[in-house]
Amino acid sequence: MLRSMFSGVSGLRNHQVKMDVIGNNIANVNTQGFKTSRTSFAEMYNQTVRSATAPSTALGGQNAQQMGLGVSAGSVDMIFTTGSTQTTDRMLDLALQGDGFFMCKQGEDTYYTRAGNMYLDENGFMVTAGGLYLQGVMLLSIDDYIEGEDIPGLEGVMDPVDSEIDNADYQIEADSVGRIIIPMNFTSIAIDKTGKVSGLSPDGVLMDIAVIPLACFTNSEGLMREGDNLYVESKNSGTPQIKRAGQGGAAGDIKSGALEMSNVDLSKEFTDMIITQRGFQANSRIITVSDTLLEELINLKR
C-alpha cells in the first residue's frame, strides 16, 4: 500500500485533534479563569532507504535517504498568560493578577483554581462555586464569635497565626492552612490585594479575620485539568509553594470585586481554525490522489 495514503490518514487524525483543542478553547471563551491550549505537531518516524556514507579517497560522502511516514501530535500545551479583568463590584469575586492559584479542598483532596467567584455557605465558610472549601490562614480566634458545636467542618479551621507576613518569598507552612470561616455577625467584609479578609465585629471594631494565600508552581503548565475550573498537582508541575499575595513576588495580587476572564484570543483561534481546515483538506487530497494511483495499478491487469 502507498505510504502517502497512511501519511494522509495521520494528517487527518492529528488535524482533528487540533480542531478539537480549538473547539474547546472557543467553547470556554467566557469561562472565568480558563487557560487556552494549543496543539503542536511533530514529524512521525522515518523510513531510511539508504544510510549516510563517509567520504573516502575515491568517493565523497553521501547523505542518507529517508522518507517520512506522517505526522503526530507533539504536544497539547496550556498557556498560562493572565486573562483580562472584569469588574463585578461583588466583594467575594476575586481576580488574580500573577502566577498564583487559589487552593481549595474536597475532603482530603487539594485542588487549585484561577476562578475567583467565591461564596459563603450556610455556616459562613468560604467556598468555590462547586462547594469546595477555600483554603487560607485564620488570623482571628473564632471562639468568642462562633458557637461551633453545631457547625460541621469547623474542625478544619486552623488556629490563628501571626498576621504579619511581609516577605514576598516567605513560604507559609502548609499545616497552618485550612478552611476560612467568616463570623456571621461580622459586617462590611473586605478583602485587600494581599488576600487579607477584614470585617467589622459586633462592637464596631475592624478586625483581621483571615488571609487567602496563593499556591505557585515551578511548572504551571504541568498541572492536570480536573474540570470545573480545577487543576491538580502532577509529577511534572512541581510541589506548590504557598505564598502571600500582594508582596511583589510571583504570586501576584488579589483584586476583590473583579474576576479574571478567559485568556482565549478569538482572532487567533479563528485563524488557527482556517489553517487547520485547510490542512485537513490537503491531507484529504493526499488520500484521494493516492487512491487514484492505486486504481491505475489495479487497471494495469485489464
**pLDDT-above-70 percentage for the chain:** 95
Output phi, psi for 233, to 5 deg: -65, 145
Residue type, 236: N
Name the residue ranges covered by the structural domains of the chain: 3-46+67-80+264-299, 85-260
Residue 48's pLDDT is: 82
**pLDDT-above-90 percentage for the chain:** 61
In the predicted model, is pLDDT for residue 26 greater than 90? Answer: yes
Which pLDDT band, with edges at 50, 70 and 90, does 236 fall under?
A: very high
Q: Average pLDDT of 26-35?
A: 95
Q: Which residue stretches of the chain are H helix?
A: 3-27, 266-299
The total of other beta-carbon atoms located within 10 Å of residue 24's CB is 14
Which pLDDT band, with edges at 50, 70 and 90, does 41 fall under?
A: very high
Residue 156's pLDDT is: 83
For residue 75, the surrounding DSSP H or E stretch is strand 71-78
Residue 164's pLDDT is: 54
Could you read off the pLDDT of 281-291 as tens digits, one per residue? 999 999 999 88
DSSP output for 87-138:
E---TTBEEEESS-BEEEEETTEEEEE---B-EE-TTSBEE-TT-PEEEEEE
Residue 171's pLDDT is: 61
Three-state DSSP class for residue 245: coil
Which pLDDT band, with edges at 50, 70 and 90, does 1 fall under?
A: low
Three-state DSSP class for residue 190: strand
In the predicted model, is pLDDT for residue 55 greater than 70? Answer: yes
Could you read off the pLDDT of 242-281 as tens digits, one per residue? 998 987 777 889 999 999 999 999 999 999 999 999 999 9
237, 223 Cβ separation under 8 angstroms: yes
C-alpha cell at 218: 515551578
Residue 163's pLDDT is: 53
Single pTM value for the model: 0.87
Could you read off the pLDDT of 64-119 as tens digits, one per residue? 888 888 898 989 999 999 999 999 999 999 999 999 999 999 999 999 999 999 99
More confident residue, 273 or 201: 273
Could you read off the pLDDT of 155-186 as tens digits, one per residue? 888 888 765 554 444 567 777 899 999 988 88
